[in-house]
Amino acid sequence: MKNYTVKLYQETDYEKWNDFIGQAKNATFLFHRDFMEYHKDRFEDFSLLVYENEKLVSVLPANRVNDVVYSHQGLTYGGLVYDEKAKLVSVIEIFKNILIFFNEKAVVKLHLKTLPAIYHLKPSEEIQYALFLAEAKLVRRDSLSVLNLSHENKISKIRRRGIQKAILNDLIIREEDDFEGFWNEILIPNLDKKHKAKPVHTLEEIHLLKNIFPDNIRQFNVYQNDKIVAGTSVFESKNVAHCQYISKNENQDNLGSLDFLFEFLIKEVFAEKQFFDFGISNENQGKKLNEGLSYWKESFGASTIVHDFYEVETINYGLLNNVLL
């Protein structure tokens, strides 16, 4: 049996952590420490590094709230990260050692959000099997609307009419480095009006992240007569273009702005990606579905994958013993 050691992340691990994320089979730039720490004042970091002897073989982005650890609440997705050589038996043993470590640190429960399969560089669902063995409970399931760009995706007639309407309205699309117009004129007013909510990222934060990850965070706006009428913020990873924010000017007549924008992104900007992720259409921990929003995404040809969230008691590490034949 291999010998694993679990350690809490320290600032001195910065380069080692980021190097590991760069070669893992189930990680994106969101797991880079510079992304995780832009809002470090909001979270008590409790990230882990797991070693096999002296070799780093796994990391867990995480934060702690009292006697519960979350795989990290400041990230859209998460989970246990491992390199491309990791075998199922090794991941089970690594996860057992993590649960033991947490239990010894008086952590009662681990809330672990997974990384949706489209973000895997290689199939990487070993942790889902380990969670099953540890009798983890599924506590949330979101539905993501996703296009597989390696296949032909038929756009519905209603979307095509929207695109033609946008052309007739002389709309133009620009990629911008400045997020201010979209944030202040479109996104913030819409979120406040519809949900009494604010964007997850402040304007200052999204500009900071753009400066750190200029190739991964991109902003596309739609204009009519030089006035912004719609936009989307895209988080781009190796396999996936993910729409973090989508919004249009709700006070305008339907100009076809979003239909026009997304046809351009899918067919031109991100055509070489493997997947285009419109994001979720859920509320209330996945138990409510925004029917209109889901339909709009599906009318571009998108279909559904799920994003699962689990809760496991750390005392259940014993269930991972004696599972091998």
Backbone torsions φ then ψ of 268, nearest 5 degrees: -115, -60
Tokens 């540890």 belong to which residue?
134
**Claim to verify: residue 67 and residue 175 sit in the same structural domain:** no
What is the pLDDT at residue 253?
Answer: 67
CATH code: domain of residue 164: 3.40.630.30
Residue 36's Cα: distance from chain center in Å? 12
**Claim to verify: residue 190 and residue 209 sit in the same structural domain:** yes
**Claim to verify: residue 210 and residue 170 sit in the same structural domain:** yes
Q: Is residue 302 part of a domain?
A: no
The answer to whether the CB of 186 falls within 8 A of the CB of 247 is yes
- Model confidence at 124: pLDDT above 70: yes
Q: Is residue 293 part of a domain?
A: no
Task: State mean pLDDT over 181-186.
Answer: 97
**Claim to verify: residue 164 and residue 267 sit in the same structural domain:** yes
**Claim to verify: residue 170 and residue 82 sit in the same structural domain:** no
What is the pLDDT at residue 159?
Answer: 96
Task: State mean pLDDT over 129-134.
Answer: 98
- Model confidence at 195: pLDDT above 90: no
**Claim to verify: residue 98 and residue 118 sit in the same structural domain:** yes
- Alpha-carbon gap, residue 28 to 32, rounded angstroms: 8
- Alpha-carbon gap, residue 45 to 19, rounded angstroms: 19
Q: Is residue 278 part of a domain?
A: no
Q: Is residue 290 part of a domain?
A: no
What is the pLDDT at residue 252?
Answer: 66
**Claim to verify: residue 104 and residue 156 sit in the same structural domain:** no
Q: Is residue 299 part of a domain?
A: no
**Claim to verify: residue 29 and residue 137 sit in the same structural domain:** yes
Say whether 172 sits in a helix, a strand or coil. Answer: strand
What is the pLDDT at residue 196?
Answer: 85
- Alpha-carbon gap, residue 208 to 72, rounded angstroms: 20
Domain count along the chain: 2
**Claim to verify: residue 169 and residue 231 sit in the same structural domain:** yes
Q: Is residue 117 part of a domain?
A: yes
Task: State mean pLDDT over 180-203.
Answer: 93
Say whether 43 sits in a helix, a strand or coil. Answer: coil
**Claim to verify: residue 8 and residue 136 sit in the same structural domain:** yes
**Claim to verify: residue 163 and residue 86 sit in the same structural domain:** no
Tokens 């809002």 belong to which residue?
39
What is the pLDDT at residue 200?
Answer: 93
Domain that holds residue 34: 4-141+308-320
**Claim to verify: residue 79 and residue 172 sit in the same structural domain:** no
pLDDT, one tens digit per residue, over 286-316 is: 999 999 999 999 999 999 999 999 999 999 9
Q: Is residue 268 part of a domain?
A: yes
- Alpha-carbon gap, residue 40 to 274, rounded angstroms: 32
Q: Is residue 128 part of a domain?
A: yes
Average the pLDDT over each of 21-35, 90-104, 239-253, 280-294 and give the range with the smallest value.
239-253
Task: State mean pLDDT over 154-178.
Answer: 96
Q: What angle do CA 90, 93, 98 make, to 5 degrees?
A: 125
